[in-house]
Structure 1
Amino acid sequence: MIEFIDVEKKYPNGMVALQHINLSIDDGEFVAVIGLSGAGKSTLIRCINRMHDISSGKLIVDEIEVAKLKGKEIRNFRRKIGMIFQSFNLVTRTSVIHNVLVSFVPELPFWRKVLGAYTKDQKRKALTALDQVGILDKAYERVDQLSGGQQQRVALARTLAQNPAIMLADEPVASLDPVTARQVMDDFKKINQRMKMTVIMNIHHVELALEYADRIIGIRKGEVVFDGSTKDVNQNVLDIIYGKGQQAKEGREALSYV
């Protein structure tokens, strides 16, 4: 369970990124967060794993009040929450499996960190994660030899290897072509359904949000203006989220596609 209780996020320059956020997200949901650029989508997601601190209110994840965590508590908490970024954050000159094994570095004693000596169990978990996203055969190839979609799958496998309870994704397919984007979205859906893992995704492509997510949260000017089932999204809802006229063009195209 993830619960936002009257959460506000205000930056030092006075800009309010989030205000009056009240949400409850249950275990195993696939949630897409949509809205215009600068609406607060990324901020909302990044508050969940404490990449951003909230300014007021309460944010509770699995009965833990996130704002009260300190030092090592924050690091341990983040181990339970996977994060996928638009930029893959991979070391491209090394192998695929090495990039996945990096997820275990925080668990290693100092001497293993220095030597890069991972355990057999960690290697097994890394290979299993690669198999789950369909690129086990690429385990010993260099990352810079892979396509963009394959690199995003490496990033996804790296996150899976740490066995998180929640998967956050910040524009994970924004830099991918349409065919590859759907392949990566298929991976997220399989993870959500087969592993019963909560997936919360900030996504610019409305048509993909409507196709893959079960629940849509619409953000406008830092506030939640829609929260409901994907099947309840219509043109009126998109007008509320994006505004009427030219700003809603993407929403109209999404509805005509679906």
Structure 2
Amino acid sequence: MIKFKNVDKIYPGGFKALDNINLTIDDGEFVAIIGRSGAGKSTLIRTINKMHDIQSGELTVDGLNVSTLKGRELRKFRRSIGMIFQSFNLVERTTVIKNVLTAFVPDLNPLRSFFGIFPKEYKLKALDALEQVDILDKAYARADQLSGGQKQRVALARTLAQNPKIILADEPVASLDPINAKQVMDYFKKINTKKNIAILINIHHVDLALEYATRVVGISEGKIVYDGPSEGVNESVLKTIYGEDAGELHFNEEE
């Protein structure tokens, strides 16, 4: 369970990115976070694994106070949380399987880590993760030979190899065409359903948010202005979240 209680995040210069956030995410939920650029969506996600510190309030994950974690304790905590980025974060010049194997680097001794020597057990887990996103056939291809959609599936496989309890995704389909975007979202949904992993996606594509997520959190100027089922998002709700820009939303297209 993820729980925000009166959380504020203030950047240097005084910009308040999160304003008195109160939010609870239960195990196994699929939550889409929507809102205008700069509304605080990425900040919200990145406070969960302490990529960003909060200034006040309390943020807990499975009862752990995230603000107090540091050093080895923080590294261990982050192992239970997968993170997917828009830019894939792959090593383009190496193979797909080696990219997935990087998930196990924290578990290696320094010598194995330096030379990139992974036990057979880890290689089998990496191959299994690739199979879960139907890209096992590309295991020994170089990452730079893949399409954007395939690269994001490799990034998802790398995250699955960690055996996470939570997956955070920061604009995971923003750089993909509509067909590949839907395919990647299909895998997020499959993983959420089959593995009961909580998934939080910061996403600009409102149509995809409504199609795949069971719950939508709308943010405007750092505040939660909507929190409810995707079925409850209507024109009025979108206007609350996006203001006058709500009329410019184009479903099934790049924004």
Regarding TM over 0.5, the answer is yes
Which amino acid in the other structure matches residue 248 of structure 1?
A
Instruction: Please name the residue that 1:125 is paired with.
Output: 125
CA distance, structure 1, for counterparts of residue 146 and residue 230 of structure 2: 33
Residue 161 of structure 1 pairs with residue 161 of structure 2:
yes
CA distance, structure 2, for counterparts of residue 147 and residue 44 of structure 1: 29
1:97 positional shift: 0.1
Which amino acid in the other structure matches residue 225 of structure 1?
V
Question: Quick check: 1:153–1:184 contact (8 Å CA) kept in 2?
Answer: yes
1:250 positional shift: 4.5
Instruction: Please name the residue that 2:98 is paired with.
Output: 98
Instruction: Please name the residue that 2:53 is paired with.
Output: 53
CA distance, structure 2, for counterparts of residue 181 and residue 167 of structure 1: 17
1:254 positional shift: 3.6
- The one-character-per-residue Cα deviations of 1:71-110 (angstroms, maximum 9, x if unpaired) are 1111110000000000011011110000000110011001
Instruction: Please name the residue that 1:69 is paired with.
Output: 69
CA distance, structure 1, for counterparts of residue 5 and residue 56 of structure 2: 9
CA RMSD of aligned residues (A): 1.0
Residue-pair matches, total: 252
CA distance, structure 1, for counterparts of residue 70 and residue 220 of structure 2: 31
Instruction: Please name the residue that 1:13 is paired with.
Output: 13
1:1-258 correspondence runs (5 A): 1-244=1-244, 247-251=245-249, 253-254=250-251
Using the size of structure 2 for normalisation, the TM-score is 0.97
1:242 positional shift: 0.3
Q: Secondary structure at the match of 1:126?
A: helix
Q: Secondary structure at the match of 1:199?
A: strand
Q: Which runs of 4+ in 1 moved over 4 A?
A: none
1:43 positional shift: 0.1
- The one-character-per-residue Cα deviations of 1:127-170 (angstroms, maximum 9, x if unpaired) are 00000000000000011111110011111100110100000000
1:12 positional shift: 1.8
- The one-character-per-residue Cα deviations of 1:161-212 (angstroms, maximum 9, x if unpaired) are 0100000000000000000000000000000000000000000000000000
Question: Quick check: 1:8–1:56 contact (8 Å CA) kept in 2?
Answer: yes
Q: Secondary structure at the match of 2:105?
A: helix
CA distance, structure 2, for counterparts of residue 235 and residue 102 of structure 1: 44
Percent identity of paired positions between Structure 1 and Structure 2: 64
1:114 positional shift: 1.7
Inter-CA distance 126–81: structure 2 relative to 1 (3 Å threshold): same
Residue ranges of structure 1 left out of the alignment (5+ in a row): none
Q: Secondary structure at the match of 1:243?
A: helix
Residue ranges of structure 2 left out of the alignment (5+ in a row): none
Question: Quick check: 1:206–1:250 contact (8 Å CA) kept in 2?
Answer: no
